[in-house]
Amino acid sequence: MTKWVYSFGNGKADGESKMKNLLGGKGANLAEMSNLGLPVPPGFTITTEVCTYYYANGQTYPADLQKQVDDAVVMVGKLMDAKLGDTQRPLLVSVRSGARVSMPGMMDTVLNLGLNPETTEGLVKLTGNARFVYDSYRRFIQMYSGVVLGLEHADFEEIIEAEKEAKGVELDTELDADDLKKIAGLFKDVVKKKLGKPFPDDVKEQLWGAIGAVFSSWQVPRAKTYRRLNKIPEDWGTAVNVQAMVFGNRGDTSATGVAFTRDPATGEKLLYGEFLINAQGEDVVAGIRTPQAISKIVRERQGAKKPSMEEAMPSMFKELKGIGDKLEAHFCEMQDVEFTIQEGKLYMLQCRTGKRTAKAALKVAVDMVSEKLIDRNTAITRVDPAALDQLLHPTLDPNAPKEKIAEGLAASPGAAVGEVTFTADEAEKRAAEGHAVILVRTETSPEDIHGMHAAKGILTARGGMTSHAAVVARGMGRPCVAGAGALRIDPDAGTMTAGAVTVKRGDVITIDGTAGKVFKGRVPMRQPEMTDDFVTLMAWADEVRKLRVYTNADTPTDAKTARGFGAEGIGLCRTEHMFFDAERIIAVRQMILAEDRGEREKALAKLLPMQRSDFEGIFKEMSGLPVIIRLLDPPLHEFLPQKEEEFASVAAAAGVSVAKLKSKSVGLHEMNPMLGHRGCRLGVTYPEITEMQARAILEAALNMQDKGVDVHVEIMIPLVAFKTELDTLKDRIEAVAADIKKERGKLPHYKIGTMIELPRAALRAGEIAETAEFFSFGTNDLTQTTLGMSRDDAGAILAEYLTKGVITRDPFVTIDRDGVGELIKIATQRGRKTRPDITIGICGEHGGDPESILLCHESGLDYVSCSPFRVPVARLAAAQAALKAVERDV
């Protein structure tokens, strides 16, 4: 018989923390905490295999599941001295999801299950606390109705607000037992009216309804979106955790909260989090009440008035801190815990690895090495390379003038500027149109995840540091200001009011998630500064990695920035980007529209000193490091005039009529220019273009060498399909080099290589390597030519493919391992067979993608090249790739 249910409690468990694939993260950690002897309310976990069965068999359960669940419920009842459905000592349970990785707020939870009119009266007699019981009952009806029965949250909130208004109170906690009993009755009336049938009072029906709802929530849109954004496979499924309820809403000696063993924003070692007295856990994370800090020092930093847990419940704080320290020592990792205090007794409801910002991840990793909890290699694997982006972007200029309009909690660090949007759909739409947006909400919910992902930053009027907005924003690396209580947000009117200031939809605001402040208008940004922890971890990573990390840089400024981030060379310098300068574009257009070689050479003569100057600046910044310069690549139509005044300017400069220029422009038109007259084809057709660029490169190298700069230049010929193309252009470059040597009596050392960006070139790499001294995979073009899919037009297609599971990764973000990846391996092997010392790397956008970097390491490449701000990402990802290879080989 298959074991579908694993029990835990009373200091023992069927499972353990290593069983996350089967029990989910929550279930595995509940089992582990039980095994450690921590105060965990008893319960059981229905495995992820049931979820798989559920979807594979028409949303039905295995035949033997019900008996295993019934037996587990009896076991929980015995440990709690209670029984599900009993009118004297009723057992109440929570039903929660639990995937193998944390998906905060994405799936469903039901609390207080087991209440009905009979058990409610029994619980009143048992506890002597009618207010607590009816508060729990109305919460259960509301939550179950939303999660299981599919009713709207607002249907119930309107009733609560009406009752508070009628009684003249502001807070839910000011309602008494009679008020709450009345509200529970009104809630049940809503259910009957909306659904045409009564709210279920049978406790077994309640339990199986909640179990089914949790399994079904694996496929709700918000969960699908979260999985897609975080690359979580659909077939993992979720477990279901059923656990005896303990209550934080049983008066002033009860409380509930969420805590981190270190500050998730900074990594500082202190107990960080929030709690609420006389509340249930959902109150903390839902943002309905603004919670209180756990540690005194955090409260003081936030300037909060209400006492911290350390001050209000000192003995409970001490016990919680001790458990946090024990969990950190056991897991050797920062922990995120949920807890409840029931009438002075502490219970642990969950522990998991704490989500954190990149800054915190660096500090925690480095500090734990110092604390001898982990070694350096483990520290390297603890930081998500992609998360380093959070550290590598501008912050607000502290000296810039600012008009502060609101202040809240610093929920997720960083700064963002954008147009105000009030709904997730609006944010997604405006962002897709190219606008930077800030999502402004009273409070966010899991349904807002697509808008949060599209936005540059998030601002909420309610909620705390562990609210949905804060947790999700930190995970995404989005700046977030939460709990800005002075804001009055009216999405229907399209306004946000803070005191006397009203901001309308589309107006620009700036948020500072590090300081928790909101400013009117656009505030200037400042470049980031790397922390000592960043420098330390990067040094450890550099000791481990095998791949060199170059950068894609077209200007001296880009080159300087990249070198500051640790770039070891330039893997792609795009010469065409230099042509778009306003002073040069007319000469470029003259060259393109010239009737013969003589006219072209006149235009090129104007460009030569400009190109030479560009290269000199780059060589200076990259002294001692290799610089790979790609010859002109894009189709010529990209440089052509589009407007009448542009045609007039070019015609005047060239001394020809506008009509003649237009005729020439029409003649250059191509149906599919990305597969047309571009790359090396331009050089074969117009060798004078290649000659001018070669001269500019080699003369710039000589000029800088004369000034003491250590120049290492490599000339890259793009879009080669045939070895003969490469031979033809190599001959032209060497002819120019010979002329320069005659003129100046010397030459710089240089290499000639090619980009591999066509399938034919990859397959014929052995032959091409006879001429090429290096290969660089242009994975942007190699992807589109391999897939037969234009990267400029593929967005809608790929979105559909990702949604429908046709593919699991966007191939223009992460290398298509089975197709493009196979071509990379073939070309590398064949190229090295011909020329064992050939240098091979990639220079497409994939060079900064951690998964693609892993493929590059596995394929035996020498380097990756990426944008300047992605250099640290690539350095860390390369180190992690090397460690994975070692682990695999052991």
Structure confidence by residue, pLDDT tens digits, 829-843: 999 999 999 999 999
Instruction: Measure the CA angle with vertex 217, ends 214 and 218; round to 5°.
Output: 105
Distance CA 26, CA 28 (A): 6
A 10 A CB-CB count for 531 gives: 15
Catalytic annotation, residues: 468, 843
pLDDT classification of 792: cutoffs 50, 70, 90? low
45's tokens? 């976990």
The pLDDT assigned to 475 comes to 55
From the list 696, 577, 685, 568, the residue with the least C-alpha distance to 634 is 577
pLDDT classification of 329: cutoffs 50, 70, 90? very high
Q: Specify whether the CB–CB gap between 45 and 59 falls below 8 A.
A: no
Q: Specify whether the CB–CB gap between 151 and 124 falls below 8 A.
A: no
The pLDDT assigned to 285 comes to 60
The pLDDT assigned to 582 comes to 61
Distance CA 853, CA 849 (A): 6
Residue with tokens 């460009």: 607
The pLDDT assigned to 581 comes to 65
The pLDDT assigned to 652 comes to 78
498's tokens? 């803070």
Q: Which pTM does this prediction carry?
A: 0.77
Q: How remote is the C-alpha of 723 from its chain's centroid?
A: 42
Q: Specify whether the CB–CB gap between 545 and 879 falls below 8 A.
A: yes
Distance CA 424, CA 450 (A): 6
807's tokens? 């593919």
From the list 7, 20, 18, the residue with the least C-alpha distance to 239 is 20
Distance CA 137, CA 38 (A): 28
With a CB cutoff of 8 Å and minimum separation 6, the contacts of 731 are none
pLDDT classification of 227: cutoffs 50, 70, 90? confident
For residue 450, the surrounding DSSP H or E stretch is helix 449-454
Q: Crossing angle of helices 153-167/177-195, nearest 10°?
A: 150
482's tokens? 């939460």
Residue-wise pLDDT tens digits, 410-454? 888 789 999 999 999 999 999 999 999 999 999 887 668 889 889
Percent of the chain, pLDDT > 70?
A: 95
Q: Crossing angle of helices 850-859/871-889, nearest 10°?
A: 50
Distance CA 878, CA 538 (A): 11
Residue 471 pLDDT > 80, yes or no?
Answer: no
- Share the mean pLDDT of the chain: 90
35's tokens? 């095994």
Backbone angles phi, psi at 573, to 5 degrees: -110, 110
Distance CA 123, CA 129 (A): 8
The pLDDT assigned to 286 comes to 60
Sheet bearing 508-512, strands edge to edge: 404-407, 517-520, 508-512, 415-421, 437-441, 457-460, 480-482, 409-412
Distance CA 158, CA 165 (A): 10
The pLDDT assigned to 560 comes to 92
The pLDDT assigned to 444 comes to 84
From the list 745, 722, 734, 742, the residue with the least C-alpha distance to 697 is 734
Helices and strands, counts by H and E, the chain: 34, 32
Residue-wise pLDDT tens digits, 43-89? 999 999 999 999 999 999 999 999 999 999 999 999 999 999 999 99
pLDDT classification of 4: cutoffs 50, 70, 90? very high
Residue with tokens 């559920």: 54
Residue-wise pLDDT tens digits, 350-402? 999 998 888 899 999 999 999 999 999 999 999 999 878 667 766 788 778 99
Give the torsion through C-alpha atoms of 696, 698, 701, 702, to 10 deg. Answer: -110
Distance CA 564, CA 557 (A): 11
421's tokens? 């949007």
The pLDDT assigned to 37 comes to 95
